[in-house]
Amino acid sequence: MLPKEFLQPGSVAVIGASRNPEKVGFGVFANLVQAGFPGPVYGVNPSGGELLGHALYPSIDAIPGPVDLGVFVVPPKAILEGIPALARKGMKAAIAISAGFKEVGGEGIALERDLIEAATAAGIRVLGPNCLGLINTHASLNASFSRGTPPKGAISFFSQSGALCTAVLDWAIGENVGFSKFVSLGNKADVSESDVMEYLADDPDTRVILGYVESIDDGRRFLRVARDVTRHKPVVLVKAGSTAAGARAASSHTGSLAGSDRAYSAAFRQGGILRAGTMEELFDLALGFAMQPVPSGDRLLILTNAGGPGILAADMAERLGIPLAEIRGELREKLLPRLPSTASLANPVDVIGDARANRYREALAAIRDEPSVDIVLVLLTPQAMTEAEETARATVSVLAGSGKTVFASFLGEATVGESRRILSAGGVPNYPVPERAVQAVHGMIRYARLRPEGPGREAETPGARPPVAERSIRSALDAGRRTLGEEEAREILEAYGFAFPGHAFADTSRAAADAFRALGSGKAVMKIVSPGILHKTDVGGVRLSLSSEEEIARAFVEITSAVRRRAPSAWIAGVSVQEMVEGGREVILGMSRDPQFGPLLMFGMGGIHVEVLKDVSFRVAPLSRRDAEEMVRDIRSYPLLASFRGNEPADEEAVVEALLRVSRLAIDFPEIQELDINPLLVLQRGRGVRAIDCRMTIAEGP
Amino acid sequence: MLPKEFLQPGSVAVIGASRNPEKVGFGVFANLVQAGFPGPVYGVNPSGGELLGHALYPSIDAIPGPVDLGVFVVPPKAILEGIPALARKGMKAAIAISAGFKEVGGEGIALERDLIEAATAAGIRVLGPNCLGLINTHASLNASFSRGTPPKGAISFFSQSGALCTAVLDWAIGENVGFSKFVSLGNKADVSESDVMEYLADDPDTRVILGYVESIDDGRRFLRVARDVTRHKPVVLVKAGSTAAGARAASSHTGSLAGSDRAYSAAFRQGGILRAGTMEELFDLALGFAMQPVPSGDRLLILTNAGGPGILAADMAERLGIPLAEIRGELREKLLPRLPSTASLANPVDVIGDARANRYREALAAIRDEPSVDIVLVLLTPQAMTEAEETARATVSVLAGSGKTVFASFLGEATVGESRRILSAGGVPNYPVPERAVQAVHGMIRYARLRPEGPGREAETPGARPPVAERSIRSALDAGRRTLGEEEAREILEAYGFAFPGHAFADTSRAAADAFRALGSGKAVMKIVSPGILHKTDVGGVRLSLSSEEEIARAFVEITSAVRRRAPSAWIAGVSVQEMVEGGREVILGMSRDPQFGPLLMFGMGGIHVEVLKDVSFRVAPLSRRDAEEMVRDIRSYPLLASFRGNEPADEEAVVEALLRVSRLAIDFPEIQELDINPLLVLQRGRGVRAIDCRMTIAEGP
């Protein structure tokens, strides 16, 4: 958590305040003064003198009072020296604006480490280095070298890119969009996005948190914080560098499909964070959250004075799965007399091209208290009779305090500019084209749906026996092995509640026949058991559908001789005779470890769906039950689990349970590096799942 | 084709010119006068007098000279009377602005029919009725009741929604975006989007054609025109109402998956038309086409003064499959000395935050003549040293005439507004966020790739024997049947070059064994032949993998008795013994008829891919070879045709041939309503395809 001295300091010192207007040290000091910070602002400059009506002090020690926040615009070594001096003045928070640290490599890396060490020793938190600074409009605090200060508002923004901060500030000032806090994170040597999010969650002046993120260092903390923050207020992030990081080299299917971007997407989703695809989407959503209540439902009513824009909005709503409210019952009765007879009483509701403001007002009044409508989108095209400004006023006044979420799109430019300003001033987010309004609506609905239930929500997995798994892993590690044998992996999974088909080892054809009889199942599979052979099918080491003792005995001879012939150097222990499970649908469950987020679980339909079509979903462990359920439904091929072509529906609930068990296992044993259960056979609803084959690699814990 | 009198008339008459500024008849006349139309403008008003310095004539007959274009703002019946009167004045083109026709139903439908009849009889083409009119800025012609006239430019826009016309006009005037022609189509009783597109293709003042379309009446003409027009210049359309029209009730897989929107998408693609997803995308693309040359290749160079926006642009490029140009060789040598040592020499090329205009200029000069770069995107964030306006000037002047396609995104607002105007004035399309610039780049690349080779490009299908197919279809129609039997359908497809597995009919177990021997293949399939049975498997009427005469004889007895037991009322003719084709991949080829576009072909992988996952592609027949090739590659499951998991690649070329043959068949026989070849087995490359089963429904020709 960020100490409050960063954004609500009682006093600020600028180390490196400069009288040269070309210097950053001037810009920061001038911003502090011009934004009207009410507490003392101390400038430190070796040559002393005065700047903008404030005395400059020749040294830190010369500052006459206590300092909460120190802003450093001096070279790296001078910052290192200044930290203890300002600690003596009571400083709790430091902003290192200067560059020359980790980002330049070499000595800079050591300097950054030294900086954080010195600060930590003095109990001081550091923002940056190599950043723009920060702004809190509600405290009249501009401790940055921005060009100007944005108007007050409810949007807070943090950014890993200083240049994007400047661009967003410039946009906010030019478009008169209100902001609450700006935080430029720079190198994130100490203060991270998680710290800022935690702080903003409790900030009464922030309604929506935006961020631009390139990388997250402590993914697990980030996810924990996100889960907590998004219960209180929306977080919308742009994650850049999303496609650059390719898949990692890995030995499992899961590992080869799990790229860094998959982990970020999964973590954002689980943390209730909305991921914006573009900067424009980020701010479109921000306006919605800043100005309007989160919708209490998803039923949208579109009010328009022209067919075309109404259809465009309805198309986008359908594409995004937003239901249009039905116009019937009382609403219909109320609308009917207020609209001309040619007006459409479908949704979009068309008030017709000759509608003046009053007709809009009447229609809006009818909608205002209608319980079957959650969201209202008001569209307007500038036609001959149109009263854009008066319609904007009607939209604002009629729907204010209605509890409905209200959006607008007034199309055009020359004759609608003023009406847009009226909408914005009245708290109605408005967009130049209807589609963007609907996309923003969609983001708000998604937030309402995704919002996590809160932390501590990992599902129970009764009956897991960690000690059994631990023994297997320990003995393999002690033997210096990194890949577990099928028997070992199976033992571990069985200890976490996975059922495998019945099976027995046999080293003679007679023993194999006995084993088949003991299984008591209709059909059996026989597989070679030979530690050196990875792909059993390739060497003729697998036979399916064996249904009598004679077939079993014959298969034993055939398999062992085939393997001897094709893999002469392999040692053959014998065969495994397994119950053959029929009629199930194949799925894959997997786990790999992400450097930022830890265990990353994968789910997909088996065979071509994972291997060729790469149709898989990911989540970060630990999973909640909802996470696991969504994971199953996220894949395109999900309909294959439902009933189709006369198939009974598969046991989806058992798949969810299986995912939760893998999640538990991954959390309990950081030694497990990668895991594929492939295939897991999903039987008919109520009959559970059977793990058929599995692979697991391990390593000494972190 | 639109007569030239619509957009380049020598003289114009306004029937219903009014002195009341509230009336549409005033608006139209005032626009004509105020836009400065150089030819005579005649106002007709029963009370005569004067308007805006022009005499008003009490009747059409009183007009003293010839009239090329008549604009009607009088009630429907008065338009009907006016047509022959103006015909006598030489009118070739009429704009019916007035409403009260088909859109009001009832009598309006008859009035509209009468209007077109009267006009056709007089050799006059009609735009509208129920429209806004049209504008040609290059002829100083504003024959509409718009509010104002947009500046001159290279973009032309037609719209089926008058309100969207007004909105776009308002935007163009407010943002100072140049337009060439505006055409409001209204009810499209006569002049259609195809007429307008044809005209604009030859218009030297139009570089890009935009349109808003809700429905297209003559789909086949539209496609023909589009193919021709898009060879000359880009067409970008928004198709509204895209998701509303659900799938149609149909008896085939193809029919049930082919919605109206699929047909529009297919036709747009084949016609080389870019389909914009939103109005914003439409205009983002328009700016690119209007200002910049179509890129000669797709290699993009991003020049930026900050990492963040560069990454956002690169992410979007990767998402859209746009390759980033490599910085090496001569380009690298030229850039190296012009940039500071800390500048990035990867792509995005980062000139670093302290770059003034001169550093941008130097870098751009190095890029200007570099053959390995096709497209340049210049990004700028407003930092302390940034010279936005001078950088805009450098971008314009250095890259002008370079042959490269140039885009820009200068982020922010307050301090970059003027620089954006400089870019626009200098012909560099620029966007508020980098992602939109990259999306516009992508549209231009797609246009270059999609542009059709031209009309008359249907592929040859040698060896087709239409007479054989005709005989089968004729005899079934004569017998009053709508669904063809398997034998009949097979005969028709064989006449179009499809190979089926060898097969023979047998009505005794001995005959079946003889038939098996005669086939000479390893394995056989036996199917019941019974006209009343649609789903043979359900009644035990199919056996697979029969590999000896004994098995065949036994299967005959088993099949016939099973069917007798389960379908006691069915008449059993005998069985069909078929060669069993092994190892192929199943695909589906299908055809259904779209009311607008005619035969719509479908392709997909067999089984779950079509039935459950709905992973299919569509094209309108006749297909070019490229159409067929793209159709095959369009589906998500396309990788299943390639080599995977040790499978040999399938015979993709044979699938393309098969699609071309179905296309030919659908064109030759409008009687065929729906057709599924399911499955078509695709063998290994070089071994062709085998049609296994097929369904066909027919009806008397249109």
Going by their DSSP bridges, the two strands B672-682 and B689-691 should be labelled as antiparallel
* Record: contact B170-A433, CB cut-off 8 A: no
Closest CA to B226 of B214, B241, B240, B211: B211
* Record: contact B342-A174, CB cut-off 8 A: no
A39-43, A220-224, B260-264: range with lowest mean pLDDT = B260-264
Which pLDDT tens digit goes with each residue over A280-294? Answer: 999 999 999 999 999
Which pLDDT tens digit goes with each residue over A428-484? Answer: 999 999 999 999 999 999 998 887 665 546 677 778 889 999 999 999 999 888 888
Q: How confident is the model at residue B249 (pLDDT cuts 50, 70, 90)?
A: very low
**What is the pLDDT, as a whole number, of residue B622?**
92
**What is the pLDDT, as a whole number, of residue A533?**
77
Of A240, A411, A432, the CB nearest to B308: A240
Reply yes or no on whether the pLDDT at B258 is more than 50. yes
Reply yes or no on whether the pLDDT at B245 is more than 50. no
Q: How far apart are CA A609 and CA A637, in angstroms?
A: 8
Reply yes or no on whether the pLDDT at B582 is more than 90. no
Closest CA to A231 of A159, A294, A285: A294
**What is the mean pLDDT of the segment spanning B527-531?**
85
So what's the ipTM on this one?
Answer: 0.89
Q: How confident is the model at residue A243 (pLDDT cuts 50, 70, 90)?
A: low
Q: How far apart are CA A70 and CA A87, in angstroms?
A: 10
Length of chain B: 702
Residues in chain B closer than 8 A to A169 (CB atoms): 412
Reply yes or no on whether the pLDDT at B615 is more than 60. yes
Question: Alpha helices of A213-252 — where are they, by DSSP H?
Answer: 219-232
Scanning the structure block, which residue is given the tokens 């939103």?
Answer: B278
Size of interface A-B (CB pairs under 8 A): 223
**What is the pLDDT, as a whole number, of residue B607?**
82
**What is the mean pLDDT of the segment spanning B63-88?**
96
Which pLDDT tens digit goes with each residue over B280-299? Answer: 999 999 999 999 999 999 99
B 200-239 residues inside an 8 A Cβ radius of A: 212, 214, 238
Q: Does domain B294-450 have CATH number 3.40.50.261?
A: yes
**What is the pLDDT, as a whole number, of residue A310?**
93
As its CATH architecture, domain A12-160+167-184+198-214+234-240 has 3-Layer(aba) Sandwich (3.40)
Tokens representing residue B252 in the block? 């085939």
A 97-136 residues inside an 8 A Cβ radius of B: 104
Which pLDDT tens digit goes with each residue over A6-62? Answer: 999 999 999 999 999 989 999 999 999 999 999 999 999 999 999 999 999 999 999
**What is the pLDDT, as a whole number, of residue B373?**
96
Class of domain A502-579: alpha beta
Q: How confident is the model at residue B254 (pLDDT cuts 50, 70, 90)?
A: low
Reply yes or no on whether the pLDDT at B456 is more than 60. no
Which pLDDT tens digit goes with each residue over B150-187? Answer: 999 999 999 999 999 999 999 999 888 999 999 999 99
Q: Do domains A12-160+167-184+198-214+234-240 and A502-579 have the same CATH topology?
A: no
Q: How confident is the model at residue B533 (pLDDT cuts 50, 70, 90)?
A: confident
Which pLDDT tens digit goes with each residue over B107-136? Answer: 999 999 999 999 999 999 999 999 999 999
Tokens representing residue A622 in the block? 């630990």
Interface residue B175 vs chain A (CB under 8 A): yes
Q: How confident is the model at residue B256 (pLDDT cuts 50, 70, 90)?
A: low
Residues in chain B closer than 8 A to A644 (CB atoms): 608, 611-612
Q: How far apart are CA B12 and CA A341, in angstroms?
A: 35
CB of B543 within 8 A of CB of B566?
no
* Average pLDDT taken over every residue of chain A: 91
**Distance from A392 to chain B by nearest Cα, in Å?**
16
Which pLDDT tens digit goes with each residue over A247-274? Answer: 334 455 666 666 688 899 999 999 999 9
Interface residue A572 vs chain B (CB under 8 A): no
B 396-425 residues inside an 8 A Cβ radius of A: 411-417
Backbone angles phi, psi at B47, to 5 degrees: -90, 0
**What is the pLDDT, as a whole number, of residue B487?**
82
* Record: contact B433-A280, CB cut-off 8 A: yes
Q: Which residue has the higher pLDDT, A134 or A341?
A: A134
Which one of A185, A239, A278 would you mutate to disrupt binding with B, by most B Cβ within 10 Å of its Cβ?
Answer: A278
Q: Does domain A289-450 have CATH number 2.40.170.20?
A: no
A146-155, A603-612, B675-684: range with lowest mean pLDDT = A603-612
State the DSSP string of B139-193: GTEEEE--SS-PPEEEEEEEES-HHHHHHHHHHHHHHT--EEEEEE-TT-SS--H
- Burial of A505-534, coded b for 16+ CB within 10 Å and e otherwise, reads ebeebebbbbbbeebeeebbbbbbbbeebe
Q: Using CA of residue A97, residue A102, residue A103, residue A105, what is the dihedral sign?
A: positive
Which pLDDT tens digit goes with each residue over B34-53? Answer: 999 999 999 999 999 999 99
Scanning the structure block, which residue is given the tokens 């659908």?
Answer: B666
**Distance from B454 to chain A by nearest Cα, in Å?**
32
Interface residue B166 vs chain A (CB under 8 A): yes
A165-179, A524-538, B204-218: range with lowest mean pLDDT = A524-538
**Distance from B665 to chain A by nearest Cα, in Å?**
30
Tokens representing residue A291 in the block? 């100005």
Q: What angle do CA B490, B493, B497 make, to 5 degrees?
A: 130
Q: What ranges do the domains of chain B cover?
A: 12-240, 294-450, 502-579, 585-698
Highest mean pLDDT among A54-68, A240-254, A511-525, A566-580: A54-68
Nearest residue on chain B to A245, judged by CA atoms? B315
Reply yes or no on whether the pLDDT at A303 is more than 80. yes
* Average pLDDT taken over every residue of chain B: 91
Of B240, B311, B314, the CB nearest to A311: B240
**What is the mean pLDDT of the segment spanning B386-396?**
96
Of A27, A240, A315, the CB nearest to B384: A27
**What is the mean pLDDT of the segment spanning B628-649?**
87
**What is the pLDDT, as a whole number, of residue A141?**
98
Reply yes or no on whether the pLDDT at A602 is more than 90. yes
Residues in chain B closer than 8 A to A240 (CB atoms): 308, 311-312, 315
Nearest residue on chain A to B173, judged by CA atoms? A414
Highest mean pLDDT among A257-261, A428-432, B325-329, B536-540: A428-432
Q: What percent of chain A has pLDDT over 70?
A: 95
**What is the mean pLDDT of the segment spanning B433-445?**
96
**What is the pLDDT, as a whole number, of residue B312?**
93
Reply yes or no on whether the pLDDT at A577 is more than 50. yes
Q: Does domain B12-240 have CATH number 3.40.50.261?
A: yes
Closest CA to B546 of B503, B516, B576: B516
CATH of A585-698 among 3.30.1490.270, 3.30.470.20, 3.40.50.1100, 2.40.37.10: 3.30.470.20
Beta-bridge partner residues of A586: A681
Q: What angle do CA B107, B111, B117 make, to 5 degrees?
A: 145
**What is the mean pLDDT of the segment spanning A535-551?**
86
* Record: contact B170-A240, CB cut-off 8 A: no
**What is the pLDDT, as a whole number, of residue A249?**
42
**What is the mean pLDDT of the segment spanning B487-512?**
91
**What is the pLDDT, as a whole number, of residue B298?**
95
